[in-house]
A and B are shown apart, each in its own frame.
Chain A
């Protein structure tokens, strides 16, 4: 049973445009959400996170939105750059329980020129 779902395996966006990556979750105990970025032959790297007490968190070109009632979060990248081409993983955990980090299946983003 996939508790964290990324229903789009891939996404292609033109350079300069907005990239929107979506993530849905089913476990109502999840309270803290993270996005990781992964380049080929490298480990995932932390990108941005959001706690359930917020509905938005911004860090430069990256913004994560959380809709708790819909159990949905999204990552917006504006403007998209070729270096953003990577696989993006959504992850979720109950607050204060590092051991329960659950990942989605990932979305491959390709930013074209």
Chain B
């Protein structure tokens, strides 16, 4: 099915462990993004990618690593999870139609770090 999918939907991990959140899109959109949603902060950009092998930091990149070897995949890795990284993570891809920019979001991954 066309769209953007995230896996897993729910994850519980221990402090200090490495965890990877997966994101896959089928539209071949150039841009992909990772956001985290926290109460009182809305959606904050962690990392984004303009194309395969091109990534850049967003507003809150510390503690996260991304890669984009293929256009359709954009995994987010927490190298050593901390409790402050407990959050809901959303992956998005952008369709840039000239002046109009519209983002499509995955269903989210709820990550709990204990």
Contacts and interface: CB of A to CB of B under 8 A. Distances in A.
B107 A42 contact: yes
Nearest to B93: A98
A71 B40 CA distance: 21
A21 to B, nearest CB: 13
Contacts of B14: none
Given A99-B48, A104-B42, A46 B99 contact: no
Given A99-B50, A103-B43, A104-B42, A46 B108 contact: no
A112 B103 CA distance: 29
Nearest to B9: A41
B105 A45 contact: yes
A49 B100 contact: yes
Nearest to A90: B42
A112 B17 CA distance: 44
A43 B44 CA distance: 14
Nearest to A5: B42
A101 B45 contact: yes
B59 to A, nearest CB: 8
Nearest to A49: B100
Given A41-B108, A42-B108, A43-B106, A101 B41 contact: no
Interface of B: 4, 31, 33, 35, 40-45, 48, 50, 56, 90, 92, 94, 96, 98-108
Interface of A: 4, 6, 32, 34, 36, 41-46, 49, 51, 89, 91, 93, 95-96, 98-99, 101-106
Contacts of A104: 42
Contacts of B107: 41-43
Contact of A89 (B43, B48, B99, B106): B43
Contact of A32 (B33, B40, B99): B99
B101 A44 contact: no
Nearest to B30: A98
Nearest to B48: A99
Contacts of B101: 32, 34, 49, 93, 96, 98, 101
